[in-house]
Amino acid sequence: MIDEELARRVIAEALSRGGDLADLFVERRSSYNLRLEEEKVEDNSSGSEVGAGVRVIRGESVAYAYTNDISEASLLETARVAAAASRGGKTVSIYLERPLESLPALAEHVVELDPDTYPREEKIELLRRADRAAREAGPHIVQVVAALGDSRQEVLVASSLGEMVRDTRVRVRMVVQVVAASDGEIQTGHETPGMLAGYELFRLFPPEQAGRAAAEQALTMLEARPAPSGPMAVVIANGTGGVLFHEACGHSLEADAVFKKASVFMDKIGERVASPLVNAYDDATLTNRWGSFCYDDEGVRAARTPLIEGGVLLGFINDRKRSWRDGTVATGNGRRQSYRFVPVPRMTNTYIDAGDAKKEDIIADTPLGLYALKLGGGEVNPVTGDFIFSVTEGYMIRDGKVAEPVKGATLIGNGPRALQDIDAVADDLDFDTGMCGKDGQAVPVCTGQPTLRVREMVVGGTTEVM
Amino acid sequence: MEKAAGLQALALQWMEKGRSLAGAGVELEIFLQEHRGLSVKAFGGEVESLRYSHSRGVGVRALREGRIGYSYCTGLAWQDVERAVEEAAANSRFSTPDEHNILPGPGVYPSEDLGIYDAEVEEEDSGRKVEMALELESLTLARDRRISQVETAVYADSVSQVAVASTAGVEGYYRHSDCYCYVFPIAREGEEHQTGFSFGLGVKPSDLDLAAVAEDAVERAVCLLGSESMASRRTTLILDSFVAAEFLGVLAAALSAEAVLKGRSFLAGKTGEAIADPLVTLVDDGLLKGGPSTAPFDDEGVPSQRKELIKAGVLQGYLHNTYTASRAGTVSTGNASRGSFRDRPRVGASNMYLLPGTGSRSDILRQVGDGVLVLQVVGAHAGANPISGEISLGALGLLVEGGEPVRPLREITLAGKALDFLRDAVALGGDLRFLPFEGSLGAPTVAIEGVMVAGRGQARS
């Protein structure tokens, strides 16, 4: 897209009025989206996008400018806008006197069935397979929406640190949403298989499986009774349950929140912040996982970062600015939605690691509680750690057995307190895909966890415990 | 920035070129968008970030024998657009035919000034805009000694231009400016911290009252200090206007005819029914003067209009674009909506708001007597389901006894059905305010009877 010499000139222009660090991010993205609804192919859309952003960092201040025009003249002009915005007139601490060094492109996440050459007819058939499997689940299934998206994102990052990297990310994801209705009651279910890979995704996750699982979830919830309210033990199933850790703790482990004193984990490195059963990681190197990459959006090599081990807080995830300002190691978590955004510290694939217990034993050991099989999204206040999550598929646990399904349940609590209250962790680690939002930017992430139990959490429902 | 006439001419020119490229039997729509913006974030008395944006893009919709294909590209050169036209036409071959896929014909757009553009946004010096972000932060910090810091203070503005042209005869152009500011203060006392939030919104920088925004945000944070949970109970909720507007997001989604036609709305089949208390009138007005989502036409070129969706509690109808209107045997309400040039038009609210009643929030509290004043909800995206109408959210607020707030509340949840909330509305204040984040939703203070609130305390019936 851009050669080393032009990148060097753009960065030099960006630093022409001073600054500590400057970088250039160039992106070319093509994407294809399909949507099957009411058994009709409705959305059949492809697009291509090109853009570049220039950033100048001076102390804690960042100036950023972007454009869709990546011609030489436009890139230099964009650099001048960023330079002018970063006024203040301090001397340049790092300047580019030698040529940029290109690091080798890496091929750690192999793509077998390339989205660009995979036939459109086949893509449509994948959606039809998910749709049929969902509709075959029973007469109460009234609506199925199956959507498929693939994208190829080629990025180039060059910085005044003297390096230039390229990374190509091919991603495919399917979203199946099923609506079931009976006697005026409406319930929904959904599944979202996705990978940093090509269409071989569906060998591992056949569309029928996604369709059936989403349908069964909706049908189960049709039979559900209103959830009870009040404090009780909560067993959170593996896979989607990881979203709780992501939201309630993960965001508070991002170094920008810590810097702004907007994190419950501020000043707690080396302290016990969780039950000794808890080991947690952020790992962008997991092969072909939805949240993985080779280099982050600032050109830092992807890494596996320990967050908590044995219940002790080990570190935070950061971006270039925070690692440089805080004097810590860059963890490779500087991510952005696209060239239109300034990179900020973001999670990649974040998970609580497997323990030794068996799921069956954990449930058998719970006299009364809630079994949260699927969690929807949630929200957290990073300053206080208070969170709320909706349970999209939940059951009561009575006398050590999974009992009746319940609907309308939410989990309400506090991240650090819930971490301390984890009293059992199973050996069945699994992952789920999501799009994480922060500062108005969405990036692909995986959340993961094994089955685990929190001694007590407040369940918000519409009835009293019986 | 391209000249007005230039952008419109470009859309027409490409529509004509595209028409000959795609050949006979293919109808085309060109949607062109140009956007320039500035956003300033202040933190710790410094500029945390200053972002200039400039983007240009084209969305192409191709229609062939009832089959729709879509494509988009960035840049404004014909060779980019040419490829997008070819892609859209190719994509259309793979779509399922549907007789209701039609491009709207020409419409008559309002000639009066809609109050959606002011040159001040472009003329005001960017240095002054930077100062506004810094000033918002310092005003917020200075307001109350319990404000330990400001997590984010932002000033942002943008000017965008939209041009649409189609082979069906649509031809339109408008220019739009907006500017807003918002602040998240953190209040601390001992070990406890609470966050607040407020914002200002306008079409030009001088519309923003920074001091009022700072005061409101600080009040919302400090009033929650000392909060505790409460025992579960059924009680009257008094929704702050921000919270009530967030709840309208559920209604906006459920009132989309697309959701209704496709079995994804709890409001399907209820036209003509009394679904809400007679106090409730819900309006969607695409022509609201100076409104955040006001424009002469919608995102496929159909003239904007005002309509009452719920009138004195009775559901009047749904939001339509050209496709859903044809399927339902009615006419478009001018509610075609797309996120950007990257998306094909779907259905969305314009300026949707609850017609206000009378009285301040204090008046409503006195009228209600005992209840819970809800100031913040958490989990609105996950906990409010527009398909089933089920709502289950975490909340922070104030316990109200004898018409007065008596203590702050945290770690409570609200649960119920949106239809019950509408039916059990008992009072609406006169303090209508628009929330800029979910499209443009506006509500006053709203009181609702008999809602289950769960907390950590001992349950009682």
Could you read off the pLDDT of A374-404 as tens digits, one per residue?
Answer: 998 777 777 788 888 889 899 999 999 999 9
- Alpha helices (runs of H) in A67-113, residue ranges in sequence order: 72-85
Instruction: Check residue A114 and give its pLDDT.
Output: 96
Could you read off the pLDDT of A391-444 as tens digits, one per residue?
Answer: 989 999 999 999 999 988 889 889 999 999 999 999 999 999 999 988 889 999
pLDDT > 60? residue B318: yes
- Find residues 395-454 of chain A whose CB sits inside 8 Å of chain B: 407-410, 412-414
Instruction: Check residue A465 and give its pLDDT.
Output: 54
- Find residues 76-95 of chain A whose CB sits inside 8 Å of chain B: 81-82, 85-86
Q: Which residues of B touch A342 (CB under 8 A)?
A: 49, 51
**Residue A356 C-alpha, separation from nearest chain B C-alpha, in angstroms:** 31
**Residue A36 C-alpha, separation from nearest chain B C-alpha, in angstroms:** 9
Instruction: Check residue A189 and give its pLDDT.
Output: 92
Q: Which residues of A touch B73 (CB under 8 A)?
A: 47-49
Q: Which residue type occupies B178?
A: D
Instruction: Check residue A205 and give its pLDDT.
Output: 96
pLDDT > 50? residue B128: yes
pLDDT > 50? residue A91: no
Could you identify the residue written with the tokens 């978590």?
A333
Q: Which residues of A touch B80 (CB under 8 A)?
A: 48
Are B232 and A464 in contact (CB < 8 Å)?
yes
Q: For residue A143, give the chain B residue with the closest CA.
A: B263
pLDDT > 90? residue B381: no
Q: Which residue type occupies B71?
A: S
Highest mean pLDDT among B125-134, B314-323, B437-446: B314-323
The average pLDDT across A25-37 equals 96
Could you identify the residue written with the tokens 């202040």?
B42
Question: Given CB atoms, is A64 within the 8 Å cutoff of chain B?
Answer: yes
Work out the end-to-end distance of chain A between its first and last CA atoms, rounded to an integer number of angstroms. 65
Question: Given CB atoms, is A462 within the 8 Å cutoff of chain B?
Answer: yes
Of the CA atoms within 13 Å of residue A40, those in its CB half-sphere come to: 15
What span, in angstroms and rounded, lies between the C-alpha atoms of A309 and A300?
24
pLDDT > 80? residue A94: no
Of the pLDDT bands very low, low, confident and very high (cuts 50, 70, 90), residue B131 is very high
Pair of tokens at residue B264: 């994804």
**Residue A56 C-alpha, separation from nearest chain B C-alpha, in angstroms:** 10
Are B415 and A69 in contact (CB < 8 Å)?
no
User: What DSSP assignment string belongs to A217-231?
Assistant: HHHHHHTPEEPEEEE
Q: Which residue type occupies A100?
A: L
Could you read off the pLDDT of A158-201 as tens digits, one per residue?
Answer: 999 999 999 999 999 999 999 999 988 889 899 999 999 999 99
The ipTM (two decimal places) reads 0.86
Pair of tokens at residue B240: 């702050």
Of the pLDDT bands very low, low, confident and very high (cuts 50, 70, 90), residue A92 is very low
Taking the CB of residue B461, how many other CB atoms lie within 10 A of it?
6
CA distances to A81, B4, B110, B140, B347 from B33, rounded to whole Å, are 22, 12, 20, 36, 19
The average pLDDT across B342-355 equals 95
Can you tell me whether residue B252 is helix, strand or coil? helix
Cβ within 8 Å of residue A97, ≥6 positions away:
none
Could you read off the pLDDT of A267-277 as tens digits, one per residue?
Answer: 999 999 999 99
What span, in angstroms and rounded, lies between the C-alpha atoms of A113 and A200?
6
Are A387 and B98 in contact (CB < 8 Å)?
no
pLDDT > 80? residue B456: no
pTM for this one? 0.89
Burial class (CB in 10 A: 0-12, 13-18, 19+), B9: middle
What span, in angstroms and rounded, lies between the C-alpha atoms of B91 and B70?
7
Q: Which residues of B touch A386 (CB under 8 A)?
A: 378, 394, 410-411
Are B380 and A386 in contact (CB < 8 Å)?
no
Q: Which residues of B touch A151 (CB under 8 A)?
A: none
Mean pLDDT of chain B: 93
Least confident range of B2-16, B331-345, B425-439: B2-16
What span, in angstroms and rounded, lies between the C-alpha atoms of A456 and A458?
7
The average pLDDT across A16-32 equals 94
Are A120 and B94 in contact (CB < 8 Å)?
yes
Determine what percent of chain B is predicted with pLDDT higher than 90. Answer: 81
Tell how strand A61-67 and strand B46-64 pair up: parallel
Burial class (CB in 10 A: 0-12, 13-18, 19+), B20: exposed
Could you read off the pLDDT of B209-221 as tens digits, one per residue?
Answer: 999 999 999 999 9
Q: Which residues of B touch A64 (CB under 8 A)?
A: 49-52
pLDDT > 50? residue A89: no
